[in-house]
Copies of this chain bind each other. A is one copy, B any other.
Amino acid sequence: MPVTIRDVAKRLNLSITTVSRALDGYDDVAEETRKQVERTAQEMGYVPSRIARQLRRKRSQAIGFIMPTEPPQYSDPFFDEFIAGMGKMANDQNYDLLTSSAPPASSEEQSIYQRWILARRVDGFVLNRLRLNDWRVHYLAANDVPFVTMQRIDDDTSYASIHVDGQGGIRKLVRLLHQRGHRRFAFIGGPPDLLIHLDRLQGYKDALVDHGIQYDPDMTLNTNMTYDEGLEAGKKILLTQDPPSALLCINDSTAIGVLDTARELGMKVGKDLVVTGFDGIRQGEHSVPSLTTLDQKIHRTASQLVQMLIQIILGSSVGALERRLDPELVLRASTGD
């Protein structure tokens, strides 16, 4: 029922070839013809069928993102902003963004990636939450499927990525807190094989060395980076014999969980007890107290990833294969600011 290129051609007594080329801006079509075609197409409400175009061009004009999360946990604010950022850029570039979710490193995750590739549903992927020996990286690289990542694994596989310097950020943060008199620290981390966990934990350890503080393994916990596990981890740490005065969390969601636990326990966060996050989700502005964090500009970073990915898909080489980003320290009430 909708109008096709044939209808436009017929109306103008032109071949579909000419119409196609006129609309695609080829320069071997008479200026007048082009104008006519454009006007008529507009009038008739002609929009090229994306599907036919995709079949012909052998491109889906879509990019994929699979959230590495456990099933019940839908809306993590981090991913909301991340997806929004990707979606914006994808849209601007006339790409579709396909999203799904699966538990990290699960067979389910594997099968989604495979299906999307085999069914040619996407032209490339954005990955985050990279893990050590992440099968996705090897698999995609081996199959020549374009992809970009946040963080990167140190190996010989070559791919484009944005590296957020968590190590440097955390180190700076600890230095500040140390200046303010804090001496007992704890680190609430993520899964042990997660790159950002290792990166940020390293920054934490380095900082302790900087200030001659002994690293205490009991003061480092692993979580899955959710609010709920933040609640739990907070309780565990705060109820120890001699609790730390500064709690550094691997991300904001976890940190907000810790804040809520502290309040529940009747502890006042902001002065003698400080809590920090990482990410810069908007919710951190409204938490009680508002959350000091290392802002990695989620929205913008996600946009950039998509932009890089599309460049790679289109074959133009990406300038620098790895971009770096220094997270910005945002001081708020959870550190008494």
Contacts and interface: CB of A to CB of B under 8 A. Distances in A.
A306 to B, nearest CB: 15
A177 B74 CA distance: 33
A51 B47 contact: no
A87 B75 contact: no
Contacts of A60: 51
A213 interface: no
Nearest to A120: B49
Contact of A75 (B81, B100, B260): B81
A290 to B, nearest CB: 11
Nearest to A71: B88
Interface string A107-133: 000000011011111000000000000
Interface in A19-52: 45-52
A77 interface: yes
Contacts of A121: 50
Contacts of A47: 115, 118-119
A80 B99 CA distance: 13
A91 interface: yes
Given A50-B119, A54-B51, A98-B96, A80 B87 contact: no
A49 B60 CA distance: 10
A2 interface: yes
Contact of A288 (B74, B91, B119, B288): B288
Contact of A80 (B45, B46, B80): B80
A92 to B, nearest CB: 11
A114 to B, nearest CB: 8
Contacts of A50: 119-121
A3 B120 CA distance: 10
A48 B119 contact: yes
A98 to B, nearest CB: 6
Nearest to A227: B286
Contact of A2 (B48, B99, B100, B120): B120
A55 B51 contact: yes
A236 interface: no
A286 B77 CA distance: 14
A120 to B, nearest CB: 5
Interface of A: 2-3, 45-52, 54-55, 60, 74-75, 77, 80-81, 84, 87, 91, 96, 98-100, 114-115, 117-121, 227, 260, 263, 282, 286, 288, 299
Given A50-B119, A51-B51, A51-B55, 6 more contacts: A45-B114, A47-B118, A48-B119, A52-B55, A74-B84, A263-B288
Closest 9 pairs (CB-CB, A-B): A75-B80, A47-B118, A74-B84, A47-B119, A50-B119, A51-B54, A51-B55, A55-B55, A80-B80
24 contacts: A2-B118, A3-B118, A45-B114, A46-B118, A47-B115, A47-B118, A47-B119, A48-B119, A49-B55, A49-B119, A50-B121, A51-B54, A51-B55, A51-B120, A74-B80, A74-B84, A75-B75, A75-B77, A75-B81, A80-B80, A87-B99, A96-B98, A227-B286, A288-B288
